[in-house]
């Protein structure tokens, strides 16, 4: 078991630590998480180690990422288990940043899924006065498609909290998993547009031995649902193979993915083939694209994707 990380909950203390380390000429890498860590998160830690001398892992369940159909209070959490997993990584991590809250919703009514202050708990690390926060960060075009269609305020919550993490931790590099493909692209665009001095790296999807993309929400799957959910990756792989064999009609490829998942008992939220950079839907594959899927199996909403570098 590796060394135990320093646990920081205060924004000011986190910023002071980062500035002291950077004054010593040390590069800082950040891995933002919502906790309940699995091997996919640990792969992000290993990735950021290739780019920075010091590693900060943030653990913060962001209320802004939950819709009305999702229960924030039941999101899986195991802070002590997370620490043990981080200590098991060769070299460990230097800091776990675990703020109690980063956004004061107050009595504001415009946030999907958070219509009362008690929904997000007491704000315990906010020193500001003058009511709840009201400033948001939005990446307007990239947030509209894919997951943004059924979760219109989701990426506003992501971009706002990630921008706050960047301002507090002041990392040189940050790593995001490409399983959340749209999120990764949105953060990259936000960093470019707002001139954050952070290099954003996308890390490849980490899968279970049977191919299921690792996710904290996999715990919601029953054994039977989990077997059926394997159809997601299998259908994506078949569609990619078909594209590499010459099938460039996106509707045919998308329909094949949807049919396979529905036949397995899943409910498809979306299955789309989009440009890797702009995330705009394409009709024929003539440039690098990504097939993105979101589907429900039981009460678990699972997302996955596969790149096709035409």
What span, in angstroms and rounded, lies between the C-alpha atoms of 4 and 91? 10
Catalytic hit among 41, 51, 133, 241: 41
Q: CATH assignment of 216-305?
A: 3.30.1300.10
Angle ∠(286,290,296) on CA atoms, nearest 5: 140
Domain ranges in the chain are 6-203, 216-305
- 310 residues of the chain, pLDDT tens digit each: 778 999 999 999 999 999 999 999 999 999 999 999 999 999 999 999 999 999 999 999 998 888 766 668 888 999 999 999 999 999 999 999 999 989 887 654 344 444 333 333 333 444 455 678 899 999 999 999 999 999 999 999 999 999 999 999 999 999 999 999 999 999 999 999 999 999 999 999 999 999 999 999 999 999 999 999 999 999 999 999 999 999 999 999 999 999 999 999 999 999 999 999 999 999 999 999 999 999 999 999 999 999 999 7
Give the gyration radius of the chain's Cα atoms.
Answer: 20
Identify the DSSP state of 209. Answer: T
Contact 31, 45 (CB under 8 A): yes
Q: pTM of whole model > 0.85?
A: yes
**Domain spanning 6-203: CATH 3.90.100.10:** no
Measured over the CA atoms of residue 96, residue 98, residue 99 and residue 101, the dihedral's sign is: positive
Residue with tokens 């620490």: 83
Contact 133, 102 (CB under 8 A): no
Q: Which residues are within 8 A (CB) of 219 and not within 5 positions of it... i.e. 6 or more apart? A: 36, 76
Catalytic annotation on 41? Answer: yes
């Amino acid at each position: 078991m590796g060394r135990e990380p320093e646990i920081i909950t205060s924004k000011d203390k986190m910023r002071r630590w980062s500035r002291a380390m950077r004054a010593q000429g040390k590069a800082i890498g950040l891995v933002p998480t919502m906790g309940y860590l699995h091997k996919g998160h640990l792969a992000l830690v290993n990735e950021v180690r290739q780019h920075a001398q010091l590693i900060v892992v943030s653990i913060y369940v962001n209320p802004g990422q939950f819709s009305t159909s999702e229960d924030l209070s039941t999101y899986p959490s195991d802070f002590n288990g997370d620490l043990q997993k981080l200590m098991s990584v060769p070299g460990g991590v230097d800091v776990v940043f675990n703020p109690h809250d980063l956004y004061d919703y107050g009595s504001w009514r415009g946030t999907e899924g958070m219509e009362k202050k008690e929904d997000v708990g007491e704000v315990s690390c906010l020193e500001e006065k003058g009511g709840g926060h009201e400033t948001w960060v939005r990446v307007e075009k990239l947030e509209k498609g894919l997951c943004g269609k059924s979760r219109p305020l989701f990426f506003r919550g992501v971009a706002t909290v990630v921008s706050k993490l960047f301002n507090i931790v002041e990392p040189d590099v940050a790593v995001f998993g490409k399983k959340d493909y749209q999120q990764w692209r949105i953060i990259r665009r936000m960093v470019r547009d707002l001139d954050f001095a952070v290099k954003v790296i996308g890390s490849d999807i980490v899968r279970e031995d049977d191919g299921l993309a690792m996710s904290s929400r996999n715990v919601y799957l029953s054994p039977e649902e989990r077997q059926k959910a394997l159809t997601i990756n299998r259908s994506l792989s078949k569609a990619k193979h078909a594209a590499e064999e010459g099938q460039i009609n996106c509707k045919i490829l998308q329909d094949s993915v949807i049919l396979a998942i529905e036949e397995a008992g899943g409910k498809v939220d979306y299955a789309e083939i989009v440009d890797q950079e702009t995330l705009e839907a394409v009709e024929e594959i003539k440039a690098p694209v990504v097939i993105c899927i979101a589907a429900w199996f039981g009460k678990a909403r699972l997302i996955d994707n596969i790149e096709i570098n035409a």
